[in-house]
Amino acid sequence: MFKQLTVVTRGYILAGIVLLSVIIISALAVQHYMLKEQVSKLNTDKARAIHQLQQYKNKLQELRADNIKAKMDYAQKNKKENINKYKAWKKSKQVAEAIYKKSDGRFKKDWARFMAYQAYSKGIDPYLVYGLLKVESGNSFDPKIVGPETKYGRAYGMAQFMENTAPWIADMAGLKYDKKYLYNPYYSIMLSITYLDYLYGKYHNWNKALTAYNRGTGGMENYVAVTGNAKSEYATKIQTNARFIKEHS
């Protein structure tokens, strides 16, 4: 009887050992599977990270290439601008000499050089600006000149700007405004070039631009409505004088 129990007990123990072994093996298998999944995930993450890193490297290389190209383009553009500035400066000196002589010294060389350089930078014929200043100042080129009283007020300085026009043109030129500045020849010249550039950009016609400078935009339009064109005596005189001076300088 005792022997039979021992055999049964041993059987249970053996079965328990087998069951425990199965459980342990199953647990190990599950753990192995989980570790395998983790390793697989790590490998996937690693591959993704390597891919992203390569993308970053490629992007960095592109940025470097773009940066180098941008620098080269800027250098080329800067070189071209400097060459154009030098050419404008060189031509300005020649124009200044011609205008100084033509005005019998009334239009100073420094004014003429400044005027020519600024005009060239806007693509405007400096002789045209000179002709305008000559007419506006009555051939005196006096920076302190004050125009006669009109219903709109008086005009001031060499380029004869009125107080209702000068402030917004100064703003367009990127300059501060004060009435006293209108007596500064450089300031007056800069406003005249800025205003001419604005008017020509608006009308693409020098007769209209010059007549508008003289009469105002509304006055120019009224003149065209009456005469059928903008070829006023003022515009004609300035352009004719500009051509004559250029041809004989």
111-138 pLDDT tens trace: 999 999 999 999 999 999 999 999 999 9
pLDDT value of position 29: 66
Q: Give the pLDDT confidence of 132-179 residue by residue, as tens digits.
A: 999 999 999 999 999 999 888 899 999 999 999 999 999 999 999 999
Q: What is the DSSP letter of 146?
A: B
Q: Is the dihedral of CA 201, 205, 208, 213 positive or negative?
A: positive
Query: Burial code of 119-154, b = ≥16 C-beta within 10 A, e = fewer?
Result: bbeeebbbbbbbbbbbbbbeeebebebebeeeeeee
pLDDT value of position 11: 64
Q: For the chain, which residues make up each domain, given as ranges?
A: 97-247
Structure tokens at 60: 């960095």
Tell whether the model's pLDDT for residue 200 goes beyond 80.
Answer: yes
Beta strands in 163-244 (DSSP E): none
Tell whether the model's pLDDT for residue 2 goes beyond 50.
Answer: no
Q: Do the Cβ atoms of 230 and 207 come closer than 8 Å?
A: yes
The segment with the largest mean pLDDT, out of 15-19, 26-30, 91-95, 219-223, is 219-223
Q: Give the pLDDT confidence of 42-95 residue by residue, as tens digits.
A: 677 777 777 777 777 777 677 666 666 655 555 455 555 556 666 777 788 889
pLDDT value of position 3: 46
Is 1.10.530.10 the CATH classification of the domain at 97-247? Answer: yes
Tell whether the model's pLDDT for residue 18 goes beyond 70.
Answer: no
3-state secondary structure of 188: helix
3-state secondary structure of 106: coil
Q: What is the DSSP letter of 164?
A: T
186 vs 170: CA distance, rounded Å: 12
Q: What is the DSSP letter of 107?
A: S
Q: Do the Cβ atoms of 109 and 100 come closer than 8 Å?
A: yes
User: 159: closest CA among 179, 133, 184, 180?
Assistant: 133
Structure tokens at 52: 């992203």
